[in-house]
């Protein structure tokens, strides 16, 4: 966007690369950037804002973006003090180098969050949202009335969402314990535990994961963690019924 202010809405922007603005570049412009899913791009600033630009940035998922040839980046990068974006109800998560640069962290302000968006199948390009995603209407962790965050609505997880009562991760020393609790579970239901090392790694199954069951509560302890590393976990359900 150079000296132009388009409406950029309901797009999926994935796997793009640019030195500045891996997905969107704004100079002397004030576009409306609303309701997009912007993931896996490469650039110094996924949304790069400079030169008296005042965009409105609302209801976007901006996540898992990386720097340009190893340079640091951020989800939203405000490059100078002449630009003043309006930022509300976005989910910025796991962007290499930070979610914001040039402005204070907006997490917790104006409905902005930093939470795992839980795509249905990120590895295979399904960017619809799981029923447990914080980006769905009514699921906002702070209770804000943001409506849908991102370009796509719910596409999976309806049944398991009604079973899941609680889930959490706890770190103790070099171990990470994953816990989840169901309201009910069929006898033939089994689980796979997958792990991704951040930023940017794909999920891979932890072979031979030993899951402890106590009634409807389940627990897995990962003893293969490295100090100073950051991990994301996923539990998949295998139901033969």
The dihedral formed by the CA atoms of 87, 59, 68 and 41, expressed in degrees to the nearest 10: -170
For the residues 98-105, what does the mean pLDDT come to? 94
User: How high is the mean pLDDT of the chain?
Assistant: 89
- Give dist(CA 202, CA 170) in Å, integer: 21
If we measure between CA atoms, which residue out of 50, 57, 62 comes closest to residue 26? 50
Per DSSP (E only), the strands in 59-188 are 61-63, 76-78, 86-88, 91-93, 100-101, 119-121, 126-130, 154-156, 164-172, 175-182
pLDDT tens sequence across 132-148: 899 999 999 889 999 99
* Segment 146-165, tens digit of pLDDT: 999 999 999 987 666 667 77
Q: How far apart are CA 127 and CA 224, in angstroms?
A: 29
**pTM to 2 decimals?**
0.74
**pLDDT, mean of residues 215-235:** 87
Using one digit for the tens of pLDDT, what is the confidence trace for 201-221? 788 898 878 899 888 889 999
The torsion angles phi and psi of 123, rounded to 5 degrees, stand at -60, -30
Q: Read off the pLDDT of residues 12-69 as tens digits, 9 standing for 90 and up.
A: 999 999 999 999 999 999 999 999 999 999 999 999 999 999 999 999 999 999 988 7
User: How many residues belong to the chain?
Assistant: 241
């Amino acid at each position: 966007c150079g000296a132009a202010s388009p409406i950029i809405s309901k797009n999926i922007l994935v796997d793009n690369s640019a030195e500045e603005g891996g997905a969107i570049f704004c100079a002397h412009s004030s576009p409306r950037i609303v309701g997009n899913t912007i993931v896996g791009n490469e650039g110094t600033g996924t949304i790069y804002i400079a030169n008296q630009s005042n965009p409105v940035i609302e209801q976007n998922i901006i996540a898992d973006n990386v720097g340009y040839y190893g340079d640091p980046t951020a989800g939203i990068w405000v490059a100078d003090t002449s630009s003043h974006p309006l930022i509300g109800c976005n989910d910025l998560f796991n962007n290499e180098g930070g979610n914001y640069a040039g402005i204070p962290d907006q997490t917790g302000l104006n409905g902005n969050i930093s939470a795992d968006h839980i795509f249905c199948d990120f590895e295979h390009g399904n960017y619809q949202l799981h029923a447990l995603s914080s980006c769905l209407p009514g699921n906002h962790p702070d209770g804000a009335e943001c409506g849908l965050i991102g370009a796509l609505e719910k596409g999976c997880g309806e049944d398991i969402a009604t079973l899941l009562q609680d889930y959490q991760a706890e770190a103790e020393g070099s171990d990470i314990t994953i816990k989840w609790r169901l309201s009910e579970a069929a006898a033939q239901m089994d689980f796979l535990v997958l792990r991704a090392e951040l930023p940017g790694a794909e999920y891979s199954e932890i072979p031979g994961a030993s899951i402890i069951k106590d009634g409807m509560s389940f627990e897995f302890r990962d003893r293969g963690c490295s100090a100073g590393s950051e991990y994301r976990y996923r539990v998949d359900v295998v139901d033969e019924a």
